[in-house]
Amino acid sequence: MKIKDIIFKSWIYISGIIVVVVTFGVFLYFLYKGIKVVTLEFILEAPGGMPLGTEGGVFPAIMGSLMSGLLSGLIGGLLGLCTSIYLVFYCNNKKNQKYMLHALQLLAGIPSVIIGLFGYTVLIVGLGLNKSLISVTLTLTVMIIPFIALRMKKALEETSKDQFICSLSLGIPKGYTIIHLVIPNALKYIMTSLGLGIVFAMGATAPIMFTGAVIIAGVPNKLTDPIMALPYHLYVLVNEGISIEMAYGTAFVLIVLVLLINLICHFIGNFEDV
Amino acid sequence: MKKYNENIFRIVITIGAILSSILVLLVFFYILNESLPFLKKVCWKEFLLGGTWSPLSSNPSFSFLPMILGTLYVSFLAIAIVMPLGIGCAFFLSFLVKKSHSKVILSFIDMLAGIPSVIFGFFGLVVLVKFMEQNLDMVTGESVLVGGILLSVMLFPYVITGCAETLEKGKEKYYIASQSLGVSKWYTMRVIMLSYAANSIFVNLLLAFSRAVGETMAVMMVMGNSPIFPRLLGRAETIPSLIALEMGTATYKSIHYSALYTAGLILIVIILIIQFIAYKVNKMGSRRFK
């Protein structure tokens, strides 16, 4: 074996092992550190202690994150689905299609902190909304529309074109075909994209820092209530040096929540196949 | 009746599509519009090539140069770390590990992409920064180096998934032919596969780079955030951190506020340039191997 091959071989083995160790290391680290902190009370209680956050739990933050994530997922998902269906099946003008696609890709590339800046000046300063669930939801929606639309477009394009054309030539209307044939076929990928979108929204910190997340709030009852959010809570705990223990717990809850939503969406998507 | 439904469906879809397009364009033009006052007032030489960032002093000076350099520095560092590791790992997963095992490992690496960046920032703070302080005898562990290492871990999924996909394709195309010609496994990987995948690896790295440039929370938490010229073991600030840290304190419609929007605009321009290059390279590559 030549010396070049040996170098190549060792490079691949070493980098492969490093990546695998680091990846599992990150997960195991939070699992190990978090499992000691997370109890039923931690999940079901509001933060307490002095300074705030040193005791108690993260229940309002979980609810705040879930509500804002799911709401923006709902709005963003619907708009994203409409956009992708329009792009794939209804847009007859190739030029318009190209422009729309470029615009979506442009927004998908904009860092989330700029969306936060936009949301802050337009919603909070410009329109005079309170820091609230609705301002967070709208900001996150703007952020995830291109993210979801581009993924759903890919999913719709990968469905069978033959089936679609057969259905049309049988005289079945286009809309009916899309609802009853195309969407069920692509459901798996549509749900996965939606799940990724919700997870993306729930994990975002920069956009919500100034648009609505506050340090302490109850579970929101209406759209204009301020909310707590897990990622922002974690950031405050760490940045103000309030409690590293509680931060481990919060990180653990956030990771588990994110993975759970991914799994649920995956499950719903696969349900039709069975 | 059917006809009626059909029209409603078409209208709903079209309205949804138009609504999202308007939103998208609104964001972009709003950013452009809000940064105009700053662009008009301050000469481009000052904010691109000036020395210091002190927007609130009595004689304010606005220079994004330290932040631009900081952003590029930490992103290049991350790419320099993730490039050998990511490519090596993609080879490792596609050629040396059983298919079922590599699937599991890949899905775990993919899951890294779903972890919110604030958690990575926390991880960097309690593990990497602490390690630097204890073992490298530094006053503060917050540095560009830590930011780069942390970013490189966050980029794993974007680099490895794409590269592994390309290598799978290449394996289907050339691997068996090359084996039956009696070429050794390692030579096939080193020469044939590497040159086959070179283009798409480059595109993946560029896209990862544009992600690194826009990353906010993780980098902000471990880099110390001082608007000074970046050094490897010193503090620095990136453009996204600048925006995130100062957007709460800038007075509405002041020049400082407009400057922050300009910073955002510069960030978008950097990302657009990178994505444009990636798009062109990708087009060239797909032509070459047809």
Question: Does residue B52 lie within any of the structural domains?
Answer: no
User: What pTM value is reported for the model?
Assistant: 0.87
Residue B55: inside a domain: no
Q: Minimal Cα distance from B116: which residue of A?
A: A203
For residue A89, give Cα distances in angstroms to A83, A93, A115, A164, B75: 10, 11, 29, 10, 39
Q: Distance, in angstroms, between A255 CA and closest chain B CA?
A: 6
Residue A128 is predicted with a pLDDT of 79
Q: Which of A112, A121, A234 sits opposite B216 (nearest CB)?
A: A112
Q: Are residues A261 and A145 in the same domain?
A: yes
Instruction: Say if residue B102 is in the same domain as residue B232.
Output: yes
- Asked if B148 and B187 sit in the same domain, the reply is yes
- The pLDDT of A39-56, averaged and rounded, is 75
> What's the rounded mean pLDDT across residues A82-105?
86
Which tens digit of pLDDT belongs to each residue from A160-198? 788 888 888 998 888 888 888 888 888 888 888 898 899
Pairwise CB contact (< 8 Å): B21 & A258: no
Q: Does B127 touch chain A (CB under 8 A)?
A: yes
Average pLDDT taken over every residue of chain A: 85
**Same domain assignment for residues B118 and B179:** yes
DSSP letter assigned to residue A208: T
Whether residues A24 and A118 fall in one domain: no
Q: Is A52 in contact with A169 (CB distance < 8 Å)?
A: no
Do A83 and B16 count as a contact with CB atoms less than 8 A apart? yes
CB pair distance less than 8 Å for A125 and B221 = no
Q: Judged by CB atoms within 8 Å, which residues 226-285 of B form the interface with A?
A: 240, 243-244, 247-248, 252, 257, 260-261, 264, 267-268, 271-272, 275
B195 CB near a chain A CB, below 8 Å? no
ipTM of this predicted structure: 0.87
Amino acid in the structure at residue A22: V
In 3D, which of A95, A141, A92 has the Cα closest to residue A118?
A: A141
Mean pLDDT of the region A103-123 = 86
CB contact under 8 Å between B115 and A255, yes or no, is: yes
Best interface-test mutation with A: which of B21, B106, B273 has the largest number of A CBs within 10 A?
B21
Which of the given ranges, A12-21, A117-126, A255-264, has the highest pLDDT on average? A12-21
Residues of A in contact with B23 (CB under 8 A): 142, 145
Judge whether B192 lies within some domain. Answer: yes
Is residue B129 over pLDDT 60? Answer: yes
How many whole angstroms separate alpha carbon A12 and alpha carbon B85? 8
- For residue A140, which of A215, A217, A69 has the smallest C-alpha distance? A69
pLDDT higher than 90, residue B128? no
Q: How many CA atoms lie within 13 A of B129 on its CB side?
A: 23
Contact yes or no for B6 and A106 at CB 8 A: no
- Whole-angstrom Cα distance, residue A168 to residue B37? 54
**Could you tell me if A29 and A53 lie in one domain?**
no
Shared-domain flag, residues B172 and B74 = yes
Number of independent structural domains in chain B: 2
Q: Check whether residue B106 and residue B32 sit in a common domain.
A: no
Residues of chain A neighbouring B121 (CB-CB closer than 8 A): 235, 238
Average pLDDT of every residue of chain B? 85
∠ Cα B69 B72 B76 (to 5°): 135
| A122-151 exposure pattern, b = at least 16 Cβ within 10 A, e = fewer | bbbeeeebebbbbbbbbbbbbbbbbbbbbb
3-state class (DSSP) for residue B248: coil
Nearest in space to B162 (alpha carbons), one of B216, B82, B101, B81: B82
**Chain B: nearest CA to A102, how far in angstroms?**
10
The pLDDT-based confidence of B83 (bands split at 50, 70, 90) is very high
The answer to whether residues A49 and A31 belong to one domain is no
**pLDDT one-digit tens code per residue, A233-250:** 888 888 887 888 888 988
- Are residues A11 and B88, on separate chains, in Cβ contact within 8 Å? yes
Buried b / exposed e over A60-76, threshold 16 CB at 10 Å, is: bbbbbbbbbbbbbbebb
Give the count of domains, chain A.
2
Q: Which of A4, A100, A116 is closest, CB to CB, to B21?
A: A100
| Closest C-alpha to A130, from A230, A236, A239, A217 | A217
| Whether residue B121 is found in the same domain as residue B70 | yes
Q: What is the DSSP string of B2-26?
A: HHHHHHHHHHHHHHHHHHHHHHHHH
Any domain includes B180: yes
**Is B49 among the domain residues?**
no
Tell me, what CATH number does A205's domain have?
1.10.3720.10
* Element counts in chain B: helices (H) and strands (E): 13, 0
Q: Which residue in A has a C-alpha nearest to residue B217's C-alpha? A: A206
Domain assignment present for B86: yes
Q: What is the CATH number of the domain that holds B113?
A: 1.10.3720.10
The answer on pLDDT for B281 being more than 80 is yes
Using the beta-carbon criterion (under 8 Å), do B9 and A116 form an inter-chain contact? Answer: no
Does B25 contact A204 at a Cβ distance shorter than 8 Å?
no
**Chain B neighbors of A18, CB-CB under 8 A:** 85, 89
pLDDT of B1 over the 50 cut = no
- Kindly tell me if the per-residue pLDDT of B198 is higher than 60: yes
Q: Which residues contact A36 (CB under 8 A, 6 or more apart)?
A: A248
Task: Please report which confidence band the pLDDT of residue B2 belongs to, taking 50, 70 and 90 as the band edges.
Answer: low
| Helical axes A133-157 vs A59-85, angle rounded to 10° | 40
Does the CB of A121 have a partner CB in chain B at under 8 Å?
A: yes
- Find the domain containing B210 and state its range: 65-288
Same domain for B74 and B181?
Answer: yes
Residue A274's pLDDT is what?
42
Gap between the Cα atoms of B140 and B217, Å rounded:
19
Q: Which residue of B has its CA nearest to A251?
A: B119
- Inter-chain residue contact B21 with A83, CB threshold 8 Å: yes
The two beta strands, A55-56 and A47-48, are antiparallel
Tell me whether A170 touches chain B (CB under 8 Å): no
| A116 shares its domain with A251 | yes
Same domain, A26 and A162: no
Domain ranges, residue A19? 3-35
Test A111 with B184 for CB contact under 8 angstroms: no
Contacts of A23 in chain B (CB under 8 A): 105, 108-109, 112, 156
Q: Is residue B57 part of a domain?
A: no
Closest CA to B149 of B67, B212, B224: B212
Same domain assignment for residues B22 and B129:
no
Same domain? For A18 and A49 the reply is no
Do A178 and A64 lie in a common domain?
yes
**Mean pLDDT on B60-79:** 88
A148 touches chain B (CB under 8 A): no
Q: Are residues A56 and A27 in the same domain?
A: no
Kindly list the distances between the CA atom of residue B32 and the CA atoms of A67, A117, B36, B272, in Å, as whole numbers in the listed order: 32, 13, 6, 15
Q: Within its chain, how far is the Cα of A124 from the centroid?
A: 23
Examine the domain organization and report whether A10 and A106 are in the same domain: no
For residue A95, give every residue at least 6 positions away whose Cβ sits within 8 Å of its Cβ, in sequence order, or none.
none
pLDDT band for position B90 (50/70/90)?
very high
B146 and B72 both lie in a single domain: yes
Q: What per-residue confidence (pLDDT) applies to A271?
A: 64
Residues A55 and A13 in one domain: no
Q: Which residues of A touch B89 (CB under 8 A)?
A: 15-16, 18-20
The answer to whether the Cβ–Cβ distance between B111 and A27 falls below 8 Å is yes
Asked if residue A201 lies in contact with residue A69, where contact means CB atoms within 8 angstroms, the answer is: yes
A117 & A11 share domain = no
Whether A147 has its CB under 8 Å from any CB of chain B: the answer is: no
pLDDT given for residue A272 in this prediction: 55
Q: Is the pLDDT of residue A159 over 50?
A: yes
- Residue B92's nearest CA partner among A6, A10, A23 is A10
Average pLDDT over residues B250-261: 83
- Residues B35, B106, single domain; the answer is no
Please give the single-letter amino acid code of residue A48: G
Residues from chain B that touch A90, judged by Cβ atoms under 8 A, are 10, 13-14, 17
Residue B73 is assigned to a structural domain of this protein: yes
Residues B160 and B106 in one domain: yes
Same domain (yes/no): B253, B140: yes
